């Protein structure tokens, strides 16, 4: 989930001196900070313990400890699909390390934010496909059939498959 904080939030009250003079309050919201994080059903925020992090870094040179992302609006731009995809990939990497697939089935639930309505360029989206192979359509990442069998979305020569295949 995500939340936004601004430097001048909660400006509804102010301290005044005995004569009733108060500080001049800023008119704008001030600098903004967006924090996005992932919450586990039982463990709170998605992060590794210190021991899990040390074990992960012995196996992988670089490994994130937590899934949280922070973004300062004026300095870092805005939360967009590219940032969302990077954030999800980081969270999935942590969750898959913490909860191995041979022992757990991970379920991801996202709220309805405009940032969640976009797809990565290689996402499996039928409306982006042609009926016939080739043509102007993206090369999509492999999918899986209902029985779990991998399904390539491109031919061996790299040509994207169509809906008819």
Quick: pLDDT tens for 69-115: 888 877 887 777 788 888 889 999 999 999 998 999 999 887 766 55
Total residues belonging to the chain: 165
Q: Is the pLDDT of residue 36 over 90?
A: no
Q: Is 158 left (phi over 0), alpha (psi -120 to 50) or beta?
A: left
- Share above pLDDT 70 across residues of the chain, in percent, rounded to a whole number: 92
Q: Are 70 and 33 in contact (CB under 8 A)?
A: yes
Average pLDDT over residues 9-14: 68
Q: Is the pLDDT of residue 11 over 90?
A: no
In order of 20, 31, 120, 125, 152, the CA distances from 158 in angstroms are 74, 47, 19, 18, 10
Confidence at residue 10, expressed as pLDDT on a 0 to 100 scale: 67
Give backbone dihedrals phi and psi of 33, rounded to 5 degrees, phi first.
-130, 125
């Amino acid at each position: 989930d995500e939340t936004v904080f601004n430097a001048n939030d909660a400006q509804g009250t102010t301290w005044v001196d005995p004569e009733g003079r108060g500080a001049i309050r800023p008119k704008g919201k001030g600098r903004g900070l967006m924090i996005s994080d992932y919450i586990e059903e039982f463990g709170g925020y998605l992060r590794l313990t210190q021991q899990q992090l040390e074990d992960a870094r012995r196996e992988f040179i670089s490994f994130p400890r937590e899934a949280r992302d922070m973004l300062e609006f004026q300095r870092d731009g805005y939360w967009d699909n590219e940032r969302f995809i990077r954030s999800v990939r980081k969270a999935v990497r942590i969750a898959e390390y913490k909860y191995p697939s041979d022992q757990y089935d991970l379920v991801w639930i996202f709220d309805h934010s405009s940032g969640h309505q976009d797809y990565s360029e290689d996402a499996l989206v039928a409306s982006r496909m042609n009926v016939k192979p080739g043509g102007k359509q993206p090369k999509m990442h492999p999918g899986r059939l209902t029985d779990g069998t991998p399904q390539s979305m491109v031919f061996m020569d790299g040509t994207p498959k169509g809906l008819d295949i």
